[in-house]
Amino acid sequence: MLLLLVKSVYSLLLPPACFVIWFGAASIWLFARTTHRRAAAVTGIGTVLFAIVSTPLFGSLLTHSLERQYVPPGQLQADSIVILTGGATLDTPNVGGSLGHAQSDTAARIVTAARLQLATGLPITVSGGQVFATTGNEGEIAQRELIGLGVPPERIRLDRTSRNTKENAINSAAILKQEGWSKPLLVTSAFHMPRSMAEFRQNGIDAIAYPTDYKVNTDIGVSLLSYIPSAQGMGLTALALKEYLGLLAIWAR
């Protein structure tokens, strides 16, 4: 109980909760000045909405709505594995030198793909490139980590140019066609899976979803912290909204 209280106090002192408190106080002050009640109403409504979408509970529910759409299959009836990367640093120190790191989303996907490959012997297509000049080449870093985890180098095919999910699907489709593979296990973060599956379907790939890197529990529990605006809550909300916007863009094509 004491730990929960301490963490709650920290959350209230840090953004975005402290901003909610400040703007809430400003709304009350403006409302007290009868000539500024319209401004007070606008500020108050904006503050309430900002507070709601910044809570871990709201972000978790929104993210969970994406993550629950696919579950890992019970039987792995596939002829290959495709892993989509999701971020990498450029020059951070790693085993063997300053070679960059797979960031958390990519790292979780690498672990799952490696375990699947070692369990099945299936070949892996790694899809991901250098998105910005200040980021690492995600495909090359993922390939290196897969080899380090025991995946035979000759079982890896590499797309080192894709910068987004659409390019992942297009370039992976080309590799799959070249190799004669038609039923891949698609490994990516659970929140990213609906958009990925939609892109792969548009490129004629009958993929089998194998989600990983879950951000929220299957059974969303609540506590006091669930209702306090936090960076975690904002992050989950932004993550989910980006995916829904991406799905909308696919639908609108």
DSSP string for residues in 202-226: HTT---EEEEE--SS-SS----GGG
Residue 210, Cβ density class (10 Å: 0-12 exposed, 13-18 middle, ≥19 buried):
buried
The 3-state DSSP class for residue 183 equals: coil
The 3-state DSSP class for residue 102 equals: strand
Question: What would the two tokens of residue 132 be?
Answer: 């910005």
Reading the chain (253 residues) residue by residue, the pLDDT tens digits are 677 677 777 778 888 988 888 888 888 887 777 667 787 788 889 999 999 999 999 999 999 999 999 999 999 999 999 999 999 999 999 998 899 999 999 999 999 999 999 999 999 999 999 999 999 999 999 999 999 999 999 999 999 999 999 999 999 999 999 999 999 999 999 999 999 999 999 999 999 999 999 999 999 989 889 999 999 999 999 999 999 999 999 999 8
Cβ distance 137 to 129 under 8 Å? yes
Measured at the alpha carbon of residue 105, what is the angle toward residues 101 and 109, in degrees to the nearest 5?
95
Residue ranges of alpha helices (H) inside the chain are 2-13, 17-32, 37-53, 56-67, 104-120, 138-148, 165-179, 193-202, 231-252
> What's the confidence (pLDDT) of residue 115?
98
Cβ distance 228 to 55 under 8 Å? yes
Residue 156 pairs in a beta bridge with 124
> What's the confidence (pLDDT) of residue 113?
98
Q: Does domain 80-212 have CATH number 3.40.50.620?
A: yes
Residue spans of beta strands (DSSP E) within 122-205:
124-127, 156-159, 184-189
The domains of the chain are located at 2-67+225-252, 80-212
Contacts of residue 207, defined as CB under 8 A and 6 or more positions apart, other chains included, come to 82, 183, 184, 185, 186, 197, 200, 201
Distance between first and last Cα of the chain = 51
> What's the confidence (pLDDT) of residue 103?
95
Closest by Cα among 99, 97, 149, 95 to 126: 149
The 3-state DSSP class for residue 78 equals: coil
